[in-house]
Chain A
Amino acid sequence: MSETQLPCPGVSFTPALLARVERCVMRLWAARTRREGSGRGRLAGVGEEFVGYRPYRPGEDLRRLDWNLYARLDQAHIRLTRREASERWAVLLDSSASMGVGPPGKLQRGAELVLALASLGQRRGARVRVVASGGPAGPEVAAPGHLAELVAWLECLEAGGAAGIGSVLAGGIGGGPGDGSGTGGGVPADSPAHSRAWVGGAGRVFLIGDLFDVEPARLGDWARSRRGCECHAMQLLAPVEFAPSEGAGQEGGPGGQGASGGLIEWRDPESGARLRRALALAPDYERRLEKGLERYQAICAAHGLGYVCRSTQTPFEDILGALLGT
Chain B
Amino acid sequence: MEYFNGTFDWARPAGLWALALPLLVLLASFLGRRPREVFTGTLGLWRELETENSARGARRSWHLPASRYLLLLALLSGALALAGPRWALPVERDTYRVIVDRSPSMYLPLSGKEKGEAEEDGGPSRLEAAVKLLRDYPGIGEAQLLWEDPTANMAGDPVGNEARAAGQEVRLPRGWEIPPERWGAPRGEVDWAAWDRAGVIWLTDRAPGLGGVERRLAGLVASGGAAVPGWVAWERELRFRWDGPVAETVDQAAAAQNDHRGGPGGEAASQGTGGFLPAPPGDFSASSPLPERGALVVESSSERPPLVQFQNQVPPPLRRFIELWAQERGLRTSGEAEAGPRLRVVGPRWRDEVAVTCGAQGWSLTGTATRGGAPPFPLGLQPPGAPGALATRLSTILDGQPLVLVSGAPGHLELAWRSLAEPLGDPAAFAVWWGQLLDELLLDPPGVVSLAERLGAGQPLCEPLPVAPAREADGSGTRSPDAELPLAALALCSAVLWAWRGRRRT
Contacts and interface: CB of A to CB of B under 8 A. Distances in A.
Interface of A: 4, 6-7, 98, 100-101, 106, 210, 212, 237-238, 240-241, 244, 248, 251, 253-255, 257-271, 273-278, 280-281, 284-285, 288-289, 292
Contacts of B53: 281, 284
Most buried by A among B42, B50, B52: B42
Contacts of A6: 39
Contacts of B44: 212
A258 B66 CA distance: 8
Contacts of B34: 260, 265
Interface string B24-51: 0000000001111111111111111110
Interchain residue pairs A-B with the least CB separation, the first 9 = A98-B41, A261-B61, A258-B65, A268-B43, A260-B36, A265-B35, A263-B35, A262-B61, A277-B57
Contact of A281 (B37, B49, B505): B49
B59 to A, nearest CB: 6
B129 to A, nearest CB: 69
B50 A275 contact: yes
Given A262-B61, A278-B61, A281-B56, A4 B45 contact: no
Contacts, number: 130
Interface in B46-88: 46-50, 52-53, 56-66
Contacts of B47: 275
A240 B38 CA distance: 8
A285 B38 CA distance: 15
A24 to B, nearest CB: 26
Contacts of B62: 261
A253 B41 contact: no
B59 A278 contact: yes
Contacts of A244: 40
Most buried by A among B41, B49, B53, B57: B41
A265 B33 CA distance: 12
Interface of B: 33-50, 52-53, 56-66, 505
Contacts of A281: 46, 49, 53, 56-57
A278 B63 CA distance: 12
Given A278-B57, A280-B56, A212 B42 contact: yes
A222 to B, nearest CB: 20
30 contacts: A101-B39, A101-B40, A106-B41, A238-B40, A240-B39, A241-B41, A248-B36, A251-B38, A253-B36, A253-B37, A258-B65, A259-B65, A260-B36, A261-B60, A261-B61, A261-B62, A261-B63, A261-B64, A263-B35, A263-B60, A264-B36, A265-B37, A266-B38, A268-B39, A268-B41, A269-B39, A271-B43, A278-B59, A281-B56, A281-B57
Interface of B is mostly: mixed
B56 A265 contact: no
Contact of B39 (A251, A276, A292): A251
A101 B39 CA distance: 6
A258 B63 contact: yes
Contacts of A259: 33, 36, 65
A210 B43 contact: no
Nearest to A164: B41
Most buried by A among B35, B52, B56, B58: B35
Contact of B37 (A267, A288, A289): A267
B64 A258 contact: yes
Contacts of A277: 46, 49-50, 57-58
Nearest to A280: B56
A212 B50 contact: no
Nearest to A242: B42
Contacts of B61: 261-263, 278
A267 B59 contact: no
Contacts of A284: 49, 52-53
B327 to A, nearest CB: 78
Nearest to A101: B39
Nearest to A2: B39
Contacts of A98: 41
A264 to B, nearest CB: 5
Contacts of B60: 261, 263
Contacts of B49: 277, 281, 284-285, 288
A264 B35 contact: yes
A110 B283 CA distance: 120
A288 B52 CA distance: 13
Given A253-B36, A253-B37, A258-B65, A266 B43 contact: yes
Given A261-B62, A288-B49, 19 more contacts: A101-B40, A255-B36, A257-B63, A258-B65, A261-B60, A261-B64, A262-B63, A264-B35, A265-B34, A265-B37, A266-B43, A268-B41, A273-B43, A274-B37, A280-B57, A281-B53, A284-B53, A288-B45, A292-B45
Nearest to B44: A212
B71 to A, nearest CB: 13
Nearest to A271: B43
Contact of A285 (B39, B46, B505): B46
Given A258-B66, A264-B36, A284-B53, A275 B45 contact: no
Nearest to B37: A265
A278 B41 contact: no
A251 B63 CA distance: 19
A263 B35 CA distance: 5
A289 B43 CA distance: 11
A241 B42 contact: yes
A257 B35 CA distance: 10
A269 B35 CA distance: 17
A278 B58 contact: yes
Contact of B42 (A100, A261, A289): A289
A292 B63 CA distance: 33
A4 B143 CA distance: 73
A251 to B, nearest CB: 5
Contact of A212 (B33, B36, B41, B64): B41
Contacts of A276: 35, 57-58
A178 to B, nearest CB: 35
Contacts of A269: 39-41
